Amino acid sequence: MQREWVKVACRILKTGREPSFKDLCEFVKEQSDIANTRYGLLVNRGSNSGNKDVGVLKRKFSTDYNAARIYYASASDGNALLRSSSCLECSSNHSLDQCQKFKDKNVRERKEFVLRHKLCNVCLKANHVAKNCRSPRSCAVEGCGWKHHTLLHELREEPKNTNIDAHINTQICTEKSTERVQKQAAFAIVHVLVRNGEKVAQTCAFLDSGSDASFITEDLAKKLNLEGEPKMISLKTLDNHSTIQCKEVQLEVSSLDSSSSFRIPNVWTVERLPMLRRTVPTMSQMKSWMHLKDIGFPGVEDENVKLLIGCNAPSVHEMKEIRTGKPNEPFAVKTPLGWTLFGSYREPCKSNCALNHLSAKEELEDKFEQLYSTEFKDPFSRTISMSVKDRIALGAISNSV
């Protein structure tokens, strides 16, 4: 009977939806009708004659499918196990993808719901992650085809075939160059979870091997309630040296499936980071790169980089696997936080490009000021003392009396 249900469930999955509790009830009722015919009784009598302990199916049906329950018991054991399915959103007897309340949410709210309840991004079920999901489901949105549920699909604009100037007028780490690449250039950017206690946020992190410090934007730090002591740091690039005031905080970063987690100390807050965006290739581009066909790059609503992880967290930069293709094709690197894509999608042209290198150091004058304020600070007195001339005049008056 289980094998027959597998066939029915497979046919339902091919229609683009999950089997519901109603489908299961209809299937069991049909199997019950078949088993209770004279031919079904003959088959069951012949198969059960040699084994008295074989399990038998006891059925209780209701005209209301939501009130139906299925019991399975052994002939030698009177205890029955109640099996029912309930929606995590509304507690009704249907799957999550059939829940109208869940469908009424926007994509971001659905993703947060799936993340909060630790559900699979493919089948919306618990107790496993997407990479271990056995469901043949893929996104039904035309032109997508990624292995995620259709209800979690985000509409992204196709990258325009225009050149952009990646040089930023900021004090951090962007320098001028004589080369520029098209917008379809991939940096080492990965989608991660950032935690501070119970506070969790999703963002894009830039794994910058040219920086000896880590940075987080002030708006993301405020969202996570990250607090730290204000300090002055010195930022050095190729031909620039500047001093800015920021806070030193600590945070935890992990992969989307929480399989890898790292504690990153000495993270500096800055107003903004270089305007890098996580570029996700289209399905047509991925099909042309055979070495990347089985790698998924999950989408994110905000693709702006709000976390820069430098070499002060070397474990995050570990290269577990590298996928290379033909010359001039982008290649992928698997890090503990997920897959990242490197390279340009098209030929470079003359202009400007982003060159990232950053060295952060606490300002020397700030350190000396702290040293003198703690070690050589004179005791403060509110008593007003007389000047030398006042003392001479007072002495002359006293002697003349």
Residues whose CB is less than 8 angstroms from the CB of residue 28 and which lie 6 or more positions away in sequence, other chains included: 57, 59, 70
Cα separation of 221 and 270, whole Å?
9
Q: Which residue has the higher pLDDT, 26 or 77?
A: 26
Beta-carbon neighbour count of residue 132 at 10 Å? 10
Mean of pLDDT values over 48-74: 42
Which tokens hold the place of 304?
A: 């702006």
50 and 113 housed in the same domain: no
Q: Which tokens go with 341?
A: 């894509």
Is residue 368 assigned to a domain? no
The answer on 283 and 329 residing in a single domain is yes
Domain housing 103: 89-155
Residues 1 and 147 in one domain: no
Residues 258 and 351 in one domain: yes
User: From residue 140, how far is each of 300, 325, 347 by CA, in Å?
Assistant: 18, 28, 32
- Choose the weakest-confidence range: 280-289, 302-311, 330-339, 366-375: 366-375
Question: Of 218, 220, 264, which is closest to residue 244 (Cα–Cα)?
Answer: 218
- Between 273 and 46, the more confident residue is 273
The reported pLDDT for the residue numbered 83 is 39
DSSP 8-state secondary structure symbol assigned to residue 183:
S
- Domain match, 52 and 99 both: no
The counts of H helices and E strands in the chain are 9, 17
Among the three residues 62, 84, 106, which one is the final residue of a domain in this structure?
Answer: 84
For residues 66 and 102, membership in a common domain is answered with: no
Domain boundary among 84, 113, 136: 84
Query: What is the token pair recorded at 197?
Result: 């206690």
pLDDT of residue 262: 92
Q: Which of 30-39, 44-53, 157-166, 307-316 has the lowest mean pLDDT?
A: 157-166
CATH of the domain at 336: 2.40.70.10
Expressed in angstroms, the distance from the first to the final Cα of the chain is 125
Phi, then psi, of 172 in degrees rounded to 5: -95, -90
Across the range 251-256, mean pLDDT stands at: 89
pTM: 0.44
Q: Does 388 have pLDDT greater than 80?
A: no
Task: Examine the domain organization and report whether 118 and 34 are in the same domain.
Answer: no
Q: What's the pLDDT score for residue 63?
A: 40
**159, 170, 171, 237, 323 from 351: Cα distances, Å:** 19, 19, 21, 20, 29
Same domain assignment for residues 190 and 298 = yes
Report if residue 230 sits inside a domain: yes
Cα 37 → chain centroid: 55
* Whether residues 100 and 147 fall in one domain: yes
* Mean pLDDT estimate for the chain: 72
What pLDDT was estimated at residue 252?
Answer: 92
Given this model, what pLDDT does residue 111 score?
87
Is 95 part of a structural domain of the chain? yes
The verdict on 185 and 253 lying in the same domain is yes
Residue 313 located in a structural domain: yes
Burial of 116 (0-12, 13-18, 19+ CB in 10 A): exposed
Q: Could you tell me what percent of the chain has a pLDDT over 70?
A: 63
Domain limit, last residue, from 65, 84, 103: 84
Residue 168 lies in a domain: no
DSSP 3-state assignment of 317?
helix
Which of 76-80, 222-226, 231-235, 368-372 reaches the highest mean pLDDT?
222-226
Distances (CA, A) of 63 to 66, 69, 86, 160, 291: 9, 11, 19, 56, 54
Q: Are residues 111 and 239 in the same domain?
A: no
Number of domains the chain is built from:
3
- Residues 6 or more apart whose CB falls under 8 angstroms from that of 51 comprise none
**What is the rounded average pLDDT of the residues 271-279?**
71
> Higher pLDDT residue, 85 or 107?
107
What is the average pLDDT across 65-86? Answer: 41
pLDDT above 60: residue 59: no
Q: pLDDT digits over 157-213, tens only?
A: 544 443 333 333 333 433 444 344 344 667 788 888 999 988 898 888 888 888 888
pLDDT digits (tens, 9 = 90+) for 320-364: 888 888 887 888 888 998 888 887 765 444 444 554 545 555 555
326 and 216 assigned to the same domain? yes
Residue 194 confidence (pLDDT): 92
Average pLDDT for 278-287: 66
Read off the pLDDT band of 301 (50, 70, 90). Answer: low
